[in-house]
Amino acid sequence: MNFVEELRWRGMLHDMMPGTEEQLLKEKTSGYIGFDPTGDSLHVGHLTQIMTLIHFQRAGHRPVALVGGATGMVGDPSGKSAERNLLDEATLNHNIASLKEQLSKFLDFSDRGDGAVMVNNYDWFKDFKFLDFIRDVGKHITVNYMMSKDSVKKRLEGENGMSFTEFSYQLVQGYDFYYLWKHHNCLVQMGGSDQWGNIVTGTEFIRRKAGGTAYALTTQLIKKADGNKFGKTESGAVWLDPKKTSPYKFYQFWLNASDEDAKNWIKIFTLKSKEEIEAIIAEHDAAPHTRAVQKALAKDITTRTHSEEAYDTAVKTSEFLFGGGDLAFIRNMDDVGVLEVFEGLPQFRVSKDVLQEGVNILDLLASHTSIFPSKGEAKKMVQGNGVSVNKEKATNVEQVYASGDLINGKYLVVQKGKKNYFLIIAA
């Protein structure tokens, strides 16, 4: 498998230094990408770089994931309009452990020849004295060279400028590349196109300090067809951690992609072959309403990020909320699972004692909860077949619900109209 050609046909390749492709075709090569540990979860914005390392490993090369324990204490000016908050060591250590666990779902970290490696640049910077750094690193790269980088220019032209801490970032990242080149025979650094300046500073530092040769490759920054930022929703970032973004919401993010985005993303974020993707797109174009591309994309990435089981639950949740699915799939779930399924729905708590005695449907909908503003409105909707409880139509205004009607002994699911759901929790 030709790694560069793989990125090229998938629309991922942005730029690379001369000689990079030849080096990767010549022999098994170690290459790295840096990940920012300022949070304890990666998000879908990191998936392009994760996929780059996956393809790198599949092509027989050795991926190195560098987690920036030291650079996380500094802050990278690339693409940023303001300086980052600096983190303490304990927080960084927690974040790094979390990121390795997530990356392990995508990369093979075994001891075999091309097994991935994770490194933390704090390990080689923690004992690096300032005077040694400016002598051994700073003297090799001129201020003129550093000032010529777009990431620096943009910040200097802005209102806030940039601190010396951030200005020194490219020296720190350049030394990272040198250290990995020297100690791990790492010849290639990869990253998003906004990292080009920092990456080539590393290749230049290796050349000036040791007379060595190293290479650079960058990938496209992913944008949505409508111009909005990829990976952002109304509720914020889409995280890989299921505690921060539930598998259902993660699945829905991909399922709700526009046709144009989905056709691009299925190449970037899945491992499907060119032939498979072309077949799925052809199926989609023949019947766009079936959303074949979105479904294939959502299934692939949800399963690999979470699990087959999480994907199945996300599909059943979608079918339940938007189609004719039933409630059977939640009957064996624990409370955490049930609440995750109904995350984002209006929830009401009703005393167990009320349900023990039995409660009339109109009282349940308008007195003990505010699903309806009045019993009169509730009555009209019930009589018009507009209310379901636990997926069964409620047509009798004298209907009484009691403990025996609770799902898992705790929940009632009320549907008002076609798409409005409410969760009643007996507590």
Can you tell me the distance from the alpha carbon of 188 to that of 29, in angstroms, rounded to the nearest whole number? 8
Active site residue 232: yes
Considering the candidates 10, 46, 62, 304, report the single residue annotated as catalytic. Answer: 46
Considering the candidates 14, 84, 154, 291, report the single residue annotated as catalytic. Answer: 84
Pull the structure tokens for residue 30: 């170690």
Pull the structure tokens for residue 361: 């449907």
Can you tell me the distance from the alpha carbon of 47 to that of 220, in angstroms, rounded to the nearest whole number? 12
> What residue has token string 């993303």?
265
Task: Count the Cβ atoms, other than its own, within 10 Å of residue 150.
Answer: 12
Query: What DSSP assignment string belongs to 105-160?
Result: TTS--SSSTT--EEEETHHHHTT--HHHHHHHTGGGS-HHHHHTSHHHHHHHHSSS
Phi/psi class of residue 265: alpha, beta or left (left: φ > 0; alpha: ψ in -120 to 50)? alpha
Considering the candidates 14, 23, 36, 43, report the single residue annotated as catalytic. Answer: 43
Indicate the helix (H) or strand (E) that contains 99: helix 89-103
Active site residue 295: no
Considering the candidates 194, 241, 312, 363, report the single residue annotated as catalytic. Answer: 194
Pull the structure tokens for residue 305: 């990020």
Active site residue 105: no
Q: % helix / strand / coil in the chain, to the nearest 5?
A: 50, 15, 35
Active site residue 393: no
Active site residue 208: no
Considering the candidates 38, 203, 270, 302, report the single residue annotated as catalytic. Answer: 38
> What residue has token string 């991909």?
254
Pull the structure tokens for residue 270: 């899945």
Considering the candidates 173, 201, 245, 313, report the single residue annotated as catalytic. Answer: 173
Pull the structure tokens for residue 326: 């039933």
Considering the candidates 14, 58, 80, 100, report the single residue annotated as catalytic. Answer: 80
Considering the candidates 91, 233, 395, 399, report the single residue annotated as catalytic. Answer: 233
- 108, 198 contact by CB (below 8 A): no
Active site residue 43: yes
Active site residue 304: no
Active site residue 80: yes
Can you tell me the distance from the alpha carbon of 294 to that of 262, in angstroms, rounded to the nearest whole number? 6
Considering the candidates 154, 232, 391, 416, report the single residue annotated as catalytic. Answer: 232
Residues carrying an active site annotation:
38, 43, 46, 80, 84, 173, 194, 229, 232-233
